[in-house]
């Protein structure tokens, strides 16, 4: 058999760049890419060779030299190598280019979280960039519609690997961005490092950065990363994961609305019951039963106060009237006119009252004021008391 013939080939030294590496408990599996041509092979490292890989901390993009036995996977007619020695010989040029682009875009702020757009909670119009006939398309569309039937997909097919990948993917993103969609998904299934390199190209990254529609990347598998993942507004680990990430589940949302409505109804019933209790207590109070009872005491107090004030005012008035009468009696007793009533008289001269005769002379005219009238007299004789 041909596979047995391959195993008889001599051991080989093979140099290449790690496109993918997967370290398991018993072995390390490597996809080794040729540095000049777009071809790759599978390398399996067991025991000592696997330990060498782990010690060297090999990662995607490293340039290595492998010494091992050729093998052939008959089912896929795929040439492979079982490694016995693995040495790290430097970093591959492809990774250097991508790392340089990554640093450049980072310095421009294209990866900053502040520029990322929020993904709508309930997207309806969805743009999808994927390969023609790709399984990713079926996964996304089918799973999304299962979660929310009322969705519209706008699909743009593009090359998802190879030299045409960057330009076609960038053009598809720009076209969908002009269609006023809710979200754009760029998706592709798993592949080797070189298969996915187009999604790290400057064309694709620039198109994604300039996109005004929220953009979701779903490239490869969980461990695959491209520069598109860093610039996108949201990254999903796989195309299948897209539906779970950005499309709400109709049944769950319906149940959530039902629960919210139930909670709101319960809350309103509690509020109504609470307010009803307050109203019942209020209407049952003595005041509400007989509102006038509220003013009985103030009314009685006001009446008593008015009565007390009237009595006090009357007493004060009587007291003051007594004083007035007393003052009046005193004034009356001191009045010269009171004296006249007892038989006395006043002598006036020129409007003034005379207290003696020293200011009179013979011939002066005087008036005698009596209780009931006046007399005008002329002095004939003056006798001064000695």
pLDDT of residue 342: 72
Separation of alpha carbons 226 and 233, rounded Å: 14
* Token code pair at residue 245: 């990430």
Of 1 and 27, more confident? 27
**243 vs 333, residue with greater confidence:** 243
Confidence of residue 1 (pLDDT cuts 50, 70, 90): low
Give 170-183 pLDDT, tens digit per residue: 999 999 999 999 99
Is 80 exceeded by the pLDDT of residue 344? no
pTM over 0.85: no
Per-residue pLDDT, 93:
60
> Domain for residue 279, yes or no?
no
Residue 220: CB atoms within 10 Å: 24
CA dihedral 159, 161, 164, 165 (to 10 degrees): 70
Measured CA to CA, the distance from residue 354 to residue 71 in angstroms comes to 167
Residues 39 and 61 in one domain: yes
137 and 230 part of one domain: yes
Per the structure block, which two tokens stand in for 10?
């001599």
* Domain shared by 301 and 174, yes or no: no
* 269 in any annotated domain: no
Mapping DSSP to helix (H, G, I), strand (E, B) and coil, where does residue 114 land?
A: helix
Give the residue among 158, 175, 246 at the shortest CA–CA distance from 211. Answer: 175
pLDDT average, residue stretch 220-241: 88
Q: State the total domains in the chain.
A: 4
Domain harbouring 49, CATH code: 2.40.50.140
Considering the domain boundaries, does residue 385 fall inside one?
no
Q: 91, 124, 153: which is the final residue of a domain? A: 91
pLDDT at 358: 81
In the prediction, which pLDDT does 126 show? 98
- The per-residue pLDDT for range 87-120, each reduced to its tens digit, is 876 555 666 788 889 999 999 999 999 999 999 9
Query: Is residue 77 classed as helix, strand or coil in its secondary structure?
Result: coil
11: Cβ contacts below 8 Å, ≥ 6 apart: 67, 68, 69, 84
CA gap 174, 159 in Å, rounded: 15
Residue 65 lies in a domain: yes
pLDDT higher than 70, residue 198: yes
Same domain, 160 and 118: yes
Residue 206 and residue 117 share a domain: yes
Mean pLDDT on 301-315: 89
87 and 139, same domain (yes or no): no
CA proximity to 177, closest of 117, 109, 108, 218: 117
Mean pLDDT of 256-263: 91
Does residue 184 surpass a pLDDT of 60? yes
Residue 277 within any structural domain of the chain? no
Q: Which domain holds residue 130?
A: 97-248
Q: State whether 129 and 195 are in the same domain.
A: yes
DSSP, collapsed to helix, strand or coil, labels residue 7 as: helix
Of 63, 91, 119, which marks where a domain is finished?
91
pLDDT of residue 336: 67
Neighbours of 318 (CB within 10 A): 10
Quick one: 139 and 241 in the same domain? yes
pLDDT in tens, 137-162: 999 999 999 999 999 999 999 999 98
238 and 315 part of one domain? no
Record the tokens describing residue 346, joined without a space.
């006043």
Please tell me whether residues 12 and 133 are part of one structural domain. Answer: no
Q: Does one domain contain both 358 and 319?
A: no
Question: Residue 338 carries which DSSP code?
Answer: H
Which of 174, 165, 169 minimizes the C-alpha distance to 210? Answer: 174
For residue 258, tell me if it sits in a domain. Answer: no
CA distances from 106 to 109, 170, 201, 230 (A): 5, 19, 14, 9
**CA 320 from chain center: how many Å?**
78
pLDDT of residue 71: 86
Of 75 and 381, the one with more pLDDT: 381
Residue 84 lies in a domain: yes
83 in any annotated domain: yes
Residue 314, H or E segment: helix 293-334
- Domain final position from 91, 120, 145: 91
Mean pLDDT of the chain: 87
- Residues 360, 226 share a domain: no
Cα torsion 264, 270, 274, 276 to 10°: value is: 90
- The predicted model gives 212-234 an average pLDDT of 91
């Amino acid at each position: 058999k041909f596979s047995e013939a391959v195993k008889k080939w001599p051991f080989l030294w093979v140099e290449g760049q790690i496109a993918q590496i997967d370290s398991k408990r018993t072995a390390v599996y490597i996809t080794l890419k040729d540095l000049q041509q777009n071809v790759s092979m599978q390398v399996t490292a067991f025991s000592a060779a696997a330990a060498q890989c782990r010690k060297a901390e090999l990662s995607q993009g490293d340039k290595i030299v492998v010494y091992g036995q050729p093998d052939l996977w008959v089912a896929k007619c795929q040439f492979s190598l079982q490694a016995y020695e693995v040495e790290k010989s430097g970093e591959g040029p492809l990774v250097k280019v991508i790392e340089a682009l990554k640093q450049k875009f980072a310095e421009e702020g294209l990866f900053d979280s502040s520029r990322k757009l929020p993904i709508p909670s309930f997207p309806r119009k969805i743009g999808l960039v994927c390969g023609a006939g790709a399984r990713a398309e079926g996964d996304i569309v089918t799973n999304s519609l299962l979660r929310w039937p009322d969705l519209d997909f706008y699909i743009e097919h593009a090359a998802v690997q190879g030299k045409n990948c960057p330009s076609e993917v960038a053009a598809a993103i720009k076209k969908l961005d002009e269609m006023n969609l809710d979200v754009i998904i760029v998706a592709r299934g798993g592949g080797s490092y070189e298969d996915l390199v187009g999604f790290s190209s400057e064309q694709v990254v620039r198109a994604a950065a300039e996109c005004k529609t929220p953009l979701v990347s779903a490239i490869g598998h969980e461990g695959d990363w491209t520069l598109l993942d860093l610039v996108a507004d949201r990254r999903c680990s796989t195309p299948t994961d897209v539906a779970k990430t950005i499309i709400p589940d109709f049944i769950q949302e319906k149940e959530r609305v039902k629960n919210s409505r139930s909670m709101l109804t319960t809350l309103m019933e509690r509020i109504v019951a609470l307010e009803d209790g307050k109203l019942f207590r209020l209407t049952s109070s003595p005041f509400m039963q007989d509102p006038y009872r509220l003013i009985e005491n103030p009314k009685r107090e006001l009446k008593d106060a008015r009565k007390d004030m009237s009595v006090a005012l009357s007493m004060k008035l009587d007291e003051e009237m007594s004083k007035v009468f007393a003052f009046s009696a005193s004034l009356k007793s001191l009045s010269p006119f009171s004296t006249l009533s007892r038989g006395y008289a006043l002598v006036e001269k020129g409007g003034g009252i005379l207290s003696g005769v020293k200011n009179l002379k013979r011939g002066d005219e005087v008036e005698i004021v009596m209780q009931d009238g006046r007399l005008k007299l002329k002095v004939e004789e003056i006798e001064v008391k000695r």
